[in-house]
Structure 1
Amino acid sequence: MTLERTWLLISVSTAGAPDSLRVQVWRKLRSLGALYLQQSVCLLPAEPPVLRDIRRLADRVRHQGGTARVLSMAFTDPAEEHSVIAELNAARDAEYAEVLERLPELRNELAAERARGNATYAEVEESEADLERFRSWLAKIAARDYFGAVGEEAAREAVEQAAAELAAFEEAALRADGKRP
């Protein structure tokens, strides 16, 4: 069974270019969820937004003195393609797991502040900012989750549970300020 998916094989060298370019390239490829096959060679699905970003990156590399090649390819062996997809999903699942690992800090902070009777608007604002960082982080992971890694649902549910706990904390803060019955 062939998946008939097109992939981008990307090869980048920043030799002879400014040192900062290497970091820019690494960050961009990381943000897109690239799978490195070997040093300076990676693979991404040829989705329209990915292709656009990779073309821009390749142009930047070339304009700053590096070299970049972007090749379109398809797998001839479906098992190999499934293996690559599994690797990409495993990488996303590790990222979703990190969200799940760090999220209890926010939830524990809310519980501790509530137990101390410190349900204040300042704490609500601080926790809202933390929750927004989690939502933003989750959105970035989801944007590079091309094949529906299984960890997304649990991470999304955990973030929404934290949002519900923050809403309850905010209600307690409003009651403490005398603004709610």
Structure 2
Amino acid sequence: MSAEAWLVISVSTAGGPDSLRVQVWRKLRSLGALYLQQSVCLLPARPEVVREVRRLADRVRHQGGTARVLTMTFTDPAEEEAVIAELNASRDVEYHEVLERLPALRRELAEERAKGNTTYAEVEESEADLQRFRSWLAKIAARDYFTAPAGQDARDAVDEAATELADFEAAALHAEAPDRPAPRLRAVDRP
């Protein structure tokens, strides 16, 4: 049996402002909570999660709602494994969305390069897009408590896009200063 402790979180926003329900939903969603039923969810009791859930419960109570946070452990290892599988499946859905959207950035780089449009403006635009992917991936990873299988594929794909952007940037630099050989920038050199 696992020694993993879990938090059972029950929240009611009745009595609080209308915006409280959305605040609670957003926060629990950002933490990757698994809903067992309406207003009752489960999260691993990791220190950073416990801290965030306590803050949320305090906010709910302060704004007129009710919140209970209970610590538990599973008595049935198979049940715990099923919960972990559900959490991983939820993260995999998110990772797959990154994987589905990332090819658009890579296609855009290839199309702009094919058109000869390797400019600083295109580099900046693509850097902003890549940063959004990195930020999105970091948010998913923060709630990926059990290392969902698709996580590594998503990280690898973002790294490949970063390498392609570094090559694109080198081509743009060479286009603006053709007398110099185009340097090969590595993805690790990128901020």
Deviations 1:84-132 (A, max 9, x none): 0000000001110000000001001101111111110000001001001
2:69 corresponding residue in structure 1: 70
Please report how far the alpha carbon of residue 157 of structure 1 lies from its aligned counterpart in structure 2 after TM superposition. Answer: 0.3
Q: What's the TM-score, normalizing by structure 2?
A: 0.93
2:188 corresponding residue in structure 1: none
1:51 corresponding residue in structure 2: 50
1:101 corresponding residue in structure 2: 100
State the number of aligned residues. Answer: 180
- The CA RMSD over aligned residues, in Å, is 0.7
Q: What SS does structure 2 have at the residue aligned with 1:119?
A: coil
1:86 corresponding residue in structure 2: 85
Structure 1 residue ranges, 4+ long, deviating more than 6 angstroms after superposition: none
Q: Looking at both structures, which has the greater relative contact order when contacts are Cα pairs under 8 Å and sequence separation is at least 6? A: 1
1:4 partnered with 2:3: yes
> Which runs of no fewer than 5 residues in structure 2 stay unpaired?
182-191
Structure 1: distance between partners of 2:4 and 2:174: 55
Counterpart amino acid of residue 33 in structure 1: G
Deviations 1:26-55 (A, max 9, x none): 010000000000000000000000000000
Q: What's the TM-score, normalizing by structure 1?
A: 0.98
1:170 partnered with 2:169: yes
Q: What SS does structure 2 have at the residue aligned with 1:131?
A: helix
1:13 corresponding residue in structure 2: 12
Please report how far the alpha carbon of residue 165 of structure 1 lies from its aligned counterpart in structure 2 after TM superposition. Answer: 0.2
- Percent of residue pairs bearing the same amino acid type: 77
Please report how far the alpha carbon of residue 5 of structure 1 lies from its aligned counterpart in structure 2 after TM superposition. Answer: 1.1
Structure 2: distance between partners of 1:90 and 1:41: 19
